[in-house]
Amino acid sequence: MAKIEYDPVKKMVRMSDSMEQIYDYYERKGFFFSREIITRYFLSLKTKPFVILTGISGTGKTKIAQVLADYVCQSETPEERRKRIAFVPVRPDWMDGKGLLGYYNILDEKYYVTPVLRLLLDARKNPEKPYFVILDEMNLAKVEHYFSDFLSIMESRTGDRPEGEALYLHASGMVPAQDGLDDVPATLEIPPNVFFTGTVNVDESTYMFSPKVLDRSNVIEFNEVDLAGYGSGGSSSVASTFALGNADVRGKLLPEDEETFFPSRKGFERLRQIAPEMVRHLEQLLDILREYHLHFGYRVINEIAHFCCISKDMVTVFDVNEVLDVQVMQKVLPKFHGTQGKLEEPLQRLLAFCVGSAAGAEEPGIVGGESARLPRSASKVARMLQGLRTQGYTSFIE
């Protein structure tokens, strides 16, 4: 088993064995995730540095984020690792961005920094290193109240302007931090090497996400519990070809150049070249949803294209239907929530699209099986339709 030791004299990390493979790293840490879910999480972060993890409690949403951050930062000293990873339990009383960014105190003329602000300041100094912010129980407070600035600024970043717009912190130039470690500027851009992950549980104490939030992220659902694989102590027994061809991805989260940092029209143009059938499927999907005013915009198209292009370069077997299935699950379905009168007909048509034939929508027994073109999405849509018929309302995030 690989072992990491810290040498306090040389102030460096020594590794007695390599921990190169991301899948092995999770297993050696004692956590059980399918290769597909690890792959989807990694590729989603690489596509856009904001991912939401949802699903039933106890399936490892928080741990998959923490372990990936540890994996990427494993060669750092413990002190450096603490600078690059901020674990933030969201509080239900957050009504603005102070919980993440801190505040300026006019009485002592100091800025009271938070772990997130300290991480942003450090990330700006080290653009070649990935940094991670994990927002645990993200929907205990309304996301739009405390995270709206981050959402807006992340959308303002482009390949030719990766820093985007700036966060406004205070109006007093450079002011000292309350801990005396650094001065805090009046404004600060969100460095593009900072990756945000939010975990979500849904109960009577939490808030639902608005379409604005869901539109700006990949949403990964954790609802599968595989006792057969879990009991064997090995990897998941659920077979999937959606896995990384080279599982040593320690230095691959950041792109090689700024032009491929963010989703853009260039990614869609490349998708036309490498997978024209994917573009045709997206056109069909838009035609179905447009009739009900449930279609998506250019942002989602660019992000789907970016995810597909990255998958083409990194997964073992690039299958158009499999990658489309993952993206319909993570980018299209999460925004579906509403009443039976609003959603039953579009979900029926969406189910037929996922199954691959109009007749398939009438045969729920085959949904999610080998015969469905998009089995993951078909299974989820069928479940949402069942919720509509029994409760009169449905939502992707349960």
pLDDT, position 235: 52
Contact indicator for 201, 57 with CB cutoff of 8 Å = yes
Q: What is the pLDDT of residue 9?
A: 45
CA-to-CA distance for 213 and 203, rounded, in angstroms? 19
- In the numeric block, the tokens 């080279």 are attached to 246
What is the predicted pLDDT for the residue at 10? 43
CATH class of 4-214: alpha beta
Digit-coded pLDDT (tens) for 229-270: 665 555 554 456 899 999 999 999 998 766 667 888 999 999
Q: How do the domains of the chain map onto residue ranges?
A: 4-214, 263-395
The pLDDT, as a whole number, for residue 182 is 82
Residue in this structure with the two tokens 């006019």, named with its chain if needed: 106
The single residue listed with the structure tokens 């949802």 is 54
Alpha-carbon span 307 to 44, nearest angstrom? 7
**Residues whose CB falls within 8 Å of the CB of residue 189, separated by 6 or more in sequence, listed in order:** 124, 153, 163, 164, 165, 166, 167
| CA end-to-end span of the chain | 38
What does the alpha-carbon distance between residue 116 and residue 369 come to, in Å, rounded to a whole number?
Answer: 43
Q: How far apart are CA 49 and CA 34, in angstroms?
A: 22
C-alpha–C-alpha distance, residues 3 and 395, integer Å: 44
pLDDT in tens, the chain (398 residues): 444 444 544 444 444 344 689 999 999 999 989 999 999 999 999 999 999 999 888 889 999 999 999 999 999 999 999 999 999 999 999 999 999 999 999 999 999 999 999 999 999 999 999 999 999 999 999 999 999 999 998 888 887 787 789 999 999 889 999 988 889 999 999 999 999 999 998 887 788 888 889 999 999 999 776 666 665 555 554 456 899 999 999 999 998 766 667 888 999 999 999 999 999 999 999 999 999 999 999 999 999 999 999 999 999 999 999 999 999 999 999 999 999 999 999 999 999 999 986 444 444 444 445 589 999 999 999 999 999 999 999 999 88
- Confidence (pLDDT) at 223: 79
Report pTM. 0.90
| Side-chain-side CA neighbours of residue 4 (13 Å) | 16
Q: What is the pLDDT of residues 269-326, one digit of tens each?
A: 999 999 999 999 999 999 999 999 999 999 999 999 999 999 999 999 999 999 999 9
